[in-house]
Structure 1
């Protein structure tokens, strides 16, 4: 732990924007686990106390990110470890540490978590962790931060599933024309994750971003790999989306895209109801629009090959 960490008290409780109230004020609840010993205060109460003790801009920053974490997934467990707040779901998501000049959110598996909004600005050199340092006067983008938390939880769940199944790394995946991974067809999350892991270069982050977004927008989504492409669908309704790597972009196809509002820009007279978007390296990712399309597409009758 850094020597500049402080527990200095302040006279007032932190102010939080109405949209970002802590969980107790918004109805979100988290399980609480403390390591302070039997009969000691719960982790949530210890976190409350830390926020109150910090006060000022650091207390406000910690209160806000705490609220965003619980909004991203109300099933998150609040813990108190290493004398710091810890948020967990299928493993540690992140810790919250207060220093003299920064509030640091350290993501335990951050190096494996897609970060299209580039929130990570600290601990960038390692192979495992990544962190966000929030300084006085700064405010993390709420929607992007919640998406990052959801992606971190999805990464934890993937790791848990691999551990339970005894999955192990296999030889390198062959890349077909345009750099598209050759993955054997199969149902479930495993072949989709194998495809995403094999997506080359910057396309890998796009694949992880799309997968996390769909999982978040469509609870219980069905997955499969068909024709060397991930497919996403709803049980009993059919497939609504697929992903495919090409040389210079990633193609995201909505099988009933003509019924979406607004209609995605990609399409030809031969594509019938299907419409798509092409994502190039460096493109700005409109998460709100993509989420709206995914939610609309999942509610429509899907495509059955």
Structure 2
């Protein structure tokens, strides 16, 4: 009696063929030249994305470098004001701790205990004093939060550097906010 031979491949043959096809795809993908990222070839960091109101999107990080990256990315004259704020704070509080959290620079005197932050909006920079109701005189901007007071610096406003520095020096003597 003659045996029938099937022209259909067996399960083992199907699996071997599938493995060979997958291996060819992996090899072809590996052989393709990859585009180098723009920041790796040019040697400079990518420009941060600006969120609504022109607020720079900077990843959460601690130290001076992320704060300086935030300030450098602030659009137009706001960057100038940011550098001034940072210089006044640093001068008033030697050894100030810095961080960027929630896309805003934070300043403190202890690790993760903050007394001040600022944030870019379309037409102004909002400086938040976390214990602002205890400052003398109290900063003009009110808040829904009990102790917070704001100073809004609009595009054409001149900053009263002496008053700002006085508020910073008062703020560091108060208990900060853990965030």
Match of 2:114 among 239, 251, 256: 239
Distance 2:56 2:112 in 1: 27
Q: Is the 8 A contact 1:237 1:301 kept in 2?
A: no
Deviation at 1:240, TM superposition (A): 0.2
> How many Å apart are 1:295 and its aligned residue?
0.4
Does residue 291 (structure 1) correspond to residue 165 (structure 2)? The answer is yes
Deviation at 1:169?
A: 2.5
Q: Which whole-Å CA distance do the structure 2 matches of 1:267 and 1:290 have between them?
A: 17
Q: Which runs of 5+ in 2 are unaligned?
A: 1-42
Distance in 1 between residues matched to 2:69 and 2:116, nearest whole Å: 18
- Return the alpha-carbon distance in structure 2 between the equivalents of residues 227 and 271 of structure 1: 17
Question: Which residue of 151, 155, 175 maps to 1:301?
Answer: 175
Look up the SS of the partner of 1:297 in the other structure.
Answer: helix
SS in 2 for 1:271: coil
Q: CA deviation at 1:237?
A: 7.8
Q: Higher relative contact order by CA 8 Å / sep ≥ 6: 1 or 2? A: 2
Question: CA-to-partner distance for each residue in 1:29-55, whole Å, 9 max, x for gaps?
Answer: xxxxxxxxxxxxxxxxxxxxxxxxxxx
What is the SS of the residue equivalent to 2:178?
Answer: coil
Distance 1:227 1:238 in 2: 15
Which residue of the partner structure matches residue 20 of structure 1?
A: none
Gaps of 5+ in 1: 1-167
Cα contact 2:116–2:129 (8 A) shared by 1: yes
Q: TM-score, normalised by structure 2?
A: 0.74
Alignment RMSD: 1.1
State TM-score, norm by structure 1.
Answer: 0.44
Q: 1:273 aligns with which of 137, 141, 147?
A: 147
- Counterparts of 1:275 and 1:188 in 2: how far apart (Å)? 25
